[in-house]
Structure formats: structure tokens, C-alpha cells
Amino acid sequence: MKALVLKQDKLLEYMDVPDPVRPGPGWALIRVAYSGICNSDLHRGFEGAAYHYPLIMGHEFSGVVEEPAIDARFPAGPRFPPGANVIAFPLLPCRRCTPCQTGDYAQCVDYDYLGSRRDGAFAERVWVPEANLMAVPEGVSMQDASLTEPCAVALHGVDKLSIRPGDFGAVFGGGPIGNMAAQWMRLRGCSRVFVVDIDDRKLALAGEMGFSPIDSRVGDPVALIRQETGGAGADRVVEAIGLPLTFLQAVQCGARFGEVVFLGNIRGSFEIGEKDFSSILRRELTIRGTWNSRVVPEGRNDWTTVLSHLRGSKIEVARLVSHTPPLSQGADVFARVLGRKESFNKVVFVP
């Protein structure tokens, strides 16, 4: 089959690879329909952060069951027959440790991961444990479904906030995750959500979708947000970029008794001075970290919530997709994204 292979750091090649072999009886073979680029793929592929080489990246995807799981423990047959449209939770938990026993798979102490620790979906096919699969509902396109994973990550972070109707919200980062977080904040009750970025295209899209764009090239976003909120600041804040500067700005713009969620994977060292630290105490801010998402309990988790909102068109993800190139152009697309000479938002490959 064809795949986009990370042969070594900073070297991607679209090439023939052997057809993948079934890892075990409970695994299903998925023909990939759409697979999206995550910022973590940039870090993994071009900053020496891969666990091994060669590696097939890609963990945000939708696809069709080509070969169903075979498991003697379930004589009634597989949950997902050939031809079923599915998405996959890419974290493969050990299902033995204490966090796994409570369904907190993202806290598993011995997990595997599609697209990082093992080969993923920048390929024509990928094997996935049937337990990690979910059906794509009627009325949800396969392209939209491929964005379930990042949308669930955004939801998982936003749900750590105690949003009350009428709250002011702020999101640092207007990319896909940040925009999705802003949408969830509005759905949860925020009357106004500020979206901070420096990319004209992302700021324009935020404005078109009813958010209040803040261009931090024009002025200090903290001062602008305080000005727009009568000096109070934002009640609920999400940092979705991962820069030390925006981590600090997220804290600085929080209102009294406000909440801040750190969603972005930080690059560099985050330091905070005496004055800002004292201000955190005096404003009684609550600061939380977040990572990944939850897939339990069945029917009432981050992923099923995303799918139900996609089905009801309450969450818009298609507007965030700026490019849908064939996977064969993958190496060139990554080079262009990294070159920053043109505007990219969400890139979704079509294998």
C-alpha cells in the first residue's frame, strides 16, 4: 500500500510500504477516508520528537472497515462489519492500570498511540482495536467525522471550566482547536468569546462565526480584552497556542474568580514574575491543565458529544478546513506549512 513515511527527522516520503499485518484477534483493518494534520505531527516529524523511525504519523482520521475484528470471545460477530463508517480513538490503553479501571484512559501509565508510538493513518489502511472504534452517525460527513478527535480535545478542555450564562470567554489561538474551544464556550453559555491570534485568515473566520477577534499585532490583547469587558477581564480563558507569552497573557486577562485552562502544548519555559503571581492569588484565579479526551461512559463522553453536535450542525468544523490535498502531496504540504509563507488552518489528507 501507499503511505506517507517519516523516514528520519525532517524527511517525509510518499512511498510503497508492506501491507500491515493484523496485530491480534480484536483488531479491524480500516481503509482511511480522511486524515488530518495535528500540530503534534509538526513537532514529532520536524523537531526530532518521534519515538522511532520509520514512522507513519496521523491520528485524526475517519475510514471504512475493510476487514472486521475476529474475536472468539464474541461469537455473535464483530461490532463493526465490513463497509461500516468509523472513527478511532487513537490512544490504545493498557486496560490494566488504575486509571484504566476508572475509564481515565488518557492517564494510562502504559499506553500505545496510533501515529506516534505505532504507525497511524497517513496511509491507505491502518489496523485499529475494535474497542477503539466508533460509528459515524447518519448525517455526518466522513470529512467532518475525521475532526472528531481535535474537537473532543477542545471540548474536554472547555468542560473543565465552570461556565455560567453571560460569562465573558477568551481563547488564545484561532486555529482549529482554539476555534472549536470558542464554539464550545459559546454553547456552554458564554455571551461573548474573544479569539486572540495574529493570522488574518483565522481572525476573519472567527469574526464571521460570531466571535470577537483580537489581533495581538495591533495592541496588547490583555488590555484590549479588559477594555471590552469594562475592566473586568475574561471569566473563562483557554490558552490553545502553547507559547510562554500567551500562557502569561491568558493568566493576566482573567477576571476576579476567573478560570484558565492550559490546552496548548508549551514550547519553551514558562516563567511568571512576583507581580503576576501575586495577582493570581489576589484575583483567586483557578488554573487547570488538560490533555486528550474521554471516551467513557459509552454514549455520554467527549467523542459521542462531538458526534451528536456534528449531526445537529451545532458545531462547525468544515469551515476550519483550508486544504484537502491528496496524501501523495504530503511531503510538499508539510514543507509549505512549516515555511509559513501561506495561510493554513486545518489540513485534511485524502489517501
Domains in the chain, number: 2
Can you give the pTM of this predicted structure?
Answer: 0.96
pLDDT digits (tens, 9 = 90+) for 35-55: 999 999 999 999 999 999 999
Task: Give the CATH number for residue 261.
Answer: 3.40.50.720
Q: What's the confidence (pLDDT) of residue 180?
A: 98
> Model confidence over 77-106: pLDDT tens digits?
789 999 999 999 999 999 999 999 999 999
Strand 112-113 versus strand 321-323 pairing type? unpaired
Residues 242 and 302 in one domain: no
Domain region containing 86:
2-150+293-349
Confidence category of residue 223, pLDDT binned at 50, 70, 90: very high
* Cβ atoms within 10 Å, residue 284: 10
CA neighbor of 151 nearest in space, from 322, 307, 287:
307
Q: Are 176 and 150 in contact (CB under 8 A)?
A: yes
CA distance 9 to 181: 31
Q: Which percentage of the chain shows pLDDT scores above 90? A: 94
Report if residue 105 sits inside a domain.
yes
Residue ranges of the alpha helices (H) in the chain? Answer: 39-46, 98-101, 142-145, 148-158, 176-188, 200-208, 221-228, 244-252, 274-283, 302-311, 330-339
Assigned domain for 316 exists:
yes
Q: Is 155 inside any structural domain? A: no
Q: Is residue 39 part of a domain?
A: yes
First and final C-alpha spacing in the chain: 11
Cβ neighbours of residue 142 under 8 Å, at least 6 residues apart? Answer: 33, 34, 62, 63, 85, 136
Q: Are 9 and 48 in contact (CB under 8 A)?
A: yes
- Cα 73 from chain centre: 34
| 73 confidence band (pLDDT: 50, 70, 90) | low
φ and ψ at residue 61, rounded to 5 degrees: -160, 160
pLDDT tens digits, one per residue of 105-142: 999 999 999 999 999 999 999 999 999 999 999 999 99
128 forms bridges with which residues in the sheet? 28
- What digits encode the pLDDT tens for the residues 161-200? 999 999 999 999 999 999 999 999 999 999 999 999 999 9
**pLDDT tens for each residue of 239-297:** 999 999 999 999 999 999 999 999 999 988 999 999 999 999 999 999 999 999 999 99
Is residue 75 pLDDT above 80, yes or no?
A: no
Q: Is the domain of 124 the same as that of 18? A: yes
Task: Judge whether residue 71 has pLDDT over 80.
Answer: no
pLDDT digits (tens, 9 = 90+) for 301-331: 999 999 999 999 999 999 999 999 999 999 9
Residue that terminates a domain, selected from 289, 306, 336: 289
Same domain, 176 and 264: yes
CATH number for the domain harbouring residue 65: 3.90.180.10
pLDDT at 185: 98
Is 156 among the domain residues?
no
- Is the backbone peptide bond immediately before 351 cis, with ω within 30 degrees of 0? no
150-164 in b/e form (b: 16+ CB < 10 A) is: bbbbbbbbbbbbebe
Query: What is the model's pLDDT at position 74?
Result: 63
